Amino acid sequence: MTKMDHMGRLFMILSLPLILLLTLPLIQMTTEPSFAMLMETLADKDVMVAILRSLSLSLAAGILAFAMGTPLAYLLARKQIPGKKIIEGIIDLPIMIPHPVVGIAILSLAGRNHPLGRFLSEIGIQIMGTKTGIVLVLIFVGLPFYINTVKAGFESVPLRLENASSTLGAGALDTFRRVTLPLTWRHMVLGIIMCTARAISEFGAIVIVAYHPMTAPVMIYERFTAYGLKYSQPVAVWLIFISFALFVMLRMMTRSVHQHYR
């Protein structure tokens, strides 16, 4: 860290419009509802259930991304596999495409008109209008954030440490457990937080796959279309507060990772 010089002050002035663009709408949103209305919304059982549902399903998506995404992140970071660049591009695809398209794609695959949808239905797995479908959507949109974060973590581990472990007689799994995992677990936690935070805000794909059971973003949309801005804002404010708390945690984790590798 250095003191603010002329260039720093110039960059601050140039950054000010962007800072205002990010903060002014949020300040307006969070200060417009009265305290009494916020407390009344918080006491609304349906609102709390929707917010807790968003949190729990997003956390489930983050944990499943950890379980399923860690092996893939390791392969992409450490191994030469066929079509690696194509796989990396496919992983990044959910970041770029409109999320209603994600919902339509999952709907076309899991519907009764597709063999996979009929097979899932026969074994008792329902995607449409269920929590399973919501978690599936949240994994889809959040997985790029987990895999890219953990892949960067694996790439940051010096190969000489893993090679030294191998020359001492440790197998590949022992080397991963004793060397690689202790040096990358912070990236995994950071990836789970990023995946979870992204999942909480998802609306476009969820509203197509599972309008009910209702998550917080879907409830905000419903109250806005049915009752107007006044009744949708307090729910949005509580969602912003929760998202803000998650991202503060995310920043603290990021700082911890940087300090660990300094």
Whether the model pTM is above 0.75: yes
- What single letter denotes the amino acid at residue 175? T
- What single letter denotes the amino acid at residue 223? R
Which ranges of 79-130 does DSSP label H, i.e. alpha helix? Answer: 84-96, 99-110, 115-122
Question: Measured on CA atoms in the order 38, 45, 197, 236, is the torsion positive or negative?
Answer: negative
User: 3-state DSSP: the chain helix, strand, coil percent, rounded to 5?
Assistant: 80, 0, 20
DSSP conformational letter for 128: T
Residue 229's contacts (CB-CB under 8 Å, 6 or more residues apart) are: none
In tens digits, the chain (262 residues) has pLDDT values of 667 778 888 898 999 999 999 889 888 888 888 888 888 888 889 988 998 899 899 999 999 999 999 999 999 999 988 899 999 999 999 888 888 888 898 888 887 788 888 888 889 888 889 999 999 999 999 999 999 999 999 999 998 998 888 888 888 889 998 999 989 988 998 899 889 888 988 999 999 999 989 999 999 999 999 988 888 889 989 888 877 787 787 777 666 666 665 5
| Per-residue pLDDT at 208 | 92
Residue 39's contacts (CB-CB under 8 Å, 6 or more residues apart) are: none
- What single letter denotes the amino acid at residue 64? L
DSSP conformational letter for 184: H
* Displacement of CA 101 from its chain's centroid (Å): 18
| Per-residue pLDDT at 258 | 60
The residue to which tokens 């990358």 are assigned: 184
- Cα 245 to Cα 222: distance, rounded to the nearest angstrom: 25
